[in-house]
Structure 1
């Protein structure tokens, strides 16, 4: 504690000084060699560098400037140029647009790139950071990144690999095996809603989804593979059509499997099937074995504790889900789609949920919600800026109680009318 002996010192001010921000001057080095002549894979790599650069230039934790160089099948010069490093994100993006595959007869190898980096001029203070990308699998023979420029204090090596997997999943709903019980089909649709929400929100894969249903429905006799979407809202629009319709010739589970097995071979619009069925007796059902060999992921979801392991056969994975499902059941289906769930555990206890919405999956409800949002324009006093931060324009109402401000009757009625 500061406690001066001199009593004439009446006031003490302590100023806490923070350290200055770090000045990062980073050269990003792209790999245009290790995917061979696959131009699309280099585009995916460039997109990753684009996202990384956006976050780098936008950070508040350091003063940032950056530049780009690339090696391999490219028109970039054989050696990096520190003069390209600048504080402009827009200029970084312009350079990144040049990072494209060029079918040259003399590409530079990964070890050539490392040698060029190591030979960058000493005492060049325009650079102090390297971010090196490479998709080379076997690295034992590569030289170390050890620049003779000792001003380069930070080196980040990014081991880049294959682009994200593309999962194009057709969800197949069961509108047959609950007979004419409309409510049970609605519950099944809610479960598909939860799975679809999580699936389309995945970040580790590129996910798109389509929907088809069999049974008591007006869905077409064969899936429409042109309606795949990566947008959850559009998927939900299709899901809302999955309702019981009392048709005279409802498609059975057997017929539905036959349709799926006969999807055209070589059609790359679909590579994944998520098949829902509540049929209890499955021993006479055919195996789900599509002749379209593009379909490499098959998941059989046995709704209401059905076991579909014999239906999906050797090409698929079966997951049993109780009628009163839990959040873990949604997660198990997602794991099966991703290939990280290989066995069917014992079904969770089929007890009615205390809530209709899982704790970690929050898809939009199918019902129409009309909500009144009530803002607090009292507890920050007359500090207009704080109210603006929460999206409300501050008005000087007459304070009444600790619960808020006194709203003008007509204004309140006008606002209320907006949600009626």
Structure 2
């Protein structure tokens, strides 16, 4: 197996996570062209601690600079809104590409990417590692042969937690639907390959969401959020014969209960983690590109994740705007934890800002969004150009359009 030159596009937290994994795959990766337009200093600081792997990384300020060096493959780990534009540039240069979820924010742009990849016969994959997660495959294998009547999924994150020794904050600049639904779609797809149809959406406290979905042979309830007290990952199945199965993989590979009895989880041993498995599989495809059509993460197989996210986001924007209007109408303050969560979750992703790092910066962003949102209602004489720009964006948003504007006065 040859050692490949990989362009890693994105210098944020997720880009750094990918860099750490690529550093471990020294048998497959010879050189990493790490592209970041805004985080060059942070990249160099991050690499300074790597004594053995640092020489294999070259920080670059533009994608064009990376393309000029002829990468064998590319990983797109930029903000979600930039995924399509970045992937298009790579595909037009015939570079096999893995795009971190979400592939795109609209079905139209996802299909455009898939069409471009097919036209140029270039592998285009999506970062949906749960589609091949061994612990999920093991759990579903134990349930094989039993008709599934209902599915329940929970995917909850705290605002701040420590993962793999690194402080992780919830991502305010990506809509929660686009961040989490691809994971939930992956699990549903493993249980029932029919595309889930959206039935009902219910906003919950502090920006959490409950969704009812109809599949070919079953019903599904999914709950997700980014302000939970603790991390939670759960899949529950109810069988037609009355039995039940549960996999709690909050800590992988998880704990399995079937009909009240505990079953052993798969032993991971020295196996590499889900992201490393995903990246190694992608690089194997690049090394033997004739085999890429069989990948479960092929973008053409995963457009359903974008379809579900777009449909849900559209419904949820309306539902959460109505919830804000109703709560303000009864006299609640905009700083109420539920109201502020609904506003921030829908406004932060459209402002084109960089993800804030640290609690103080996040609080500052939240306060700024609420101030701009408050000023967007009644006509206000705002002198600050940055605030005026934010107000203009808010007023043009679908979320703002669904509000009862009199409640902002």
Asked if these proteins are the same fold (TM beyond 0.5), I'd say no
User: TM-score, with normalisation over the residues of structure 1?
Assistant: 0.25
Find the structure with the greater CA-based Rg.
1
More helix by share: 2
Higher relative contact order (CA 8 A, sep 6+): 2
